[in-house]
Amino acid sequence: MTLDALRELARAKLRAAGLAGDHADAVAETMVAGERDGCASHGIYRLLVADRSIRAGVVVPDAVPQVSEPKAGLVRVDGGGGFAQLAFERGMPLLVDKARANGIAALALNNVVHFAALWPEVEALAEQGLVALAFTPSHAWVAPAGGTKPVFGTNPIAFGWPRPGREPFVFDFATSAVARGEIELHRREGRAIPDDWGYDADGRSTNDATAVLDGAMRTFGGHKGSALAAMVELLAGPLIADMTSAESIAADKGRGGSPIGGELILAIDPAGFLGDAVRAHLERAEAMFAAIEGQSARLPSQRRYAARARSLAEGVTIPAALYADIMAIGV
Residues that bind ligand NDP (CB under 6 A): 41-42, 114, 116-119, 136, 138, 154, 156, 158, 171-174, 178-179, 182, 259, 298, 300-304
Q: How far apart are CA 228 and CA 187, in angstroms?
A: 27
Nearer to ligand PYC, 161 or 197 (CB): 197
Distance in Å, CB of 227 to ligand PYC, minimum? 18
CB 106 within 8 A of CB 73: yes
Contacting ligand PYC within 114-133 (CB under 6 A): 114-115
Nearest to 197 by CA among 221, 217, 214, 226: 217
Q: How far apart are CA 17 and CA 54, in angstroms?
A: 7
Nearer to ligand PYC, 114 or 218 (CB): 114
Task: By CB under 6 A, tell whether 168 contacts ligand PYC.
Answer: no
Nearer to ligand PYC, 259 or 262 (CB): 259
Nearest to 44 by CA among 143, 115, 106: 115
Task: By CB under 6 A, tell whether 9 contacts ligand PYC.
Answer: no
Task: By CB under 6 A, tell whether 79 contacts ligand PYC.
Answer: no
Tell me the residue type at 280. Answer: A
Q: How far apart are CA 7 and CA 128, in angstroms?
A: 25
Nearer to ligand PYC, 180 or 186 (CB): 180
Distance in Å, CB of 158 to ligand PYC, minimum? 12
Task: By CB under 6 A, tell whether 218 contacts ligand PYC.
Answer: no
Contacting ligand PYC within 238-277 (CB under 6 A): 258-259
Q: Give the binding range for ligand PYC (CB under 6 A) out of 70-78, 144-152, 174-182, 239-247.
A: 174-182
- Residue 103 CA: distances (Å) to CA of 3, 91, 107, 274: 37, 17, 14, 10
Angle at 192 between CA 187 and CA 195, to 5 degrees: 115
Q: What are the residue numbers of the active site? A: 41-42, 182
Nearest to 138 by CA among 301, 300, 257: 257
Tell me the residue type at 279. Answer: R
List residues near ligand PYC by CB under 6 A. Answer: 41, 114-115, 138, 154, 174, 179-181, 258-259
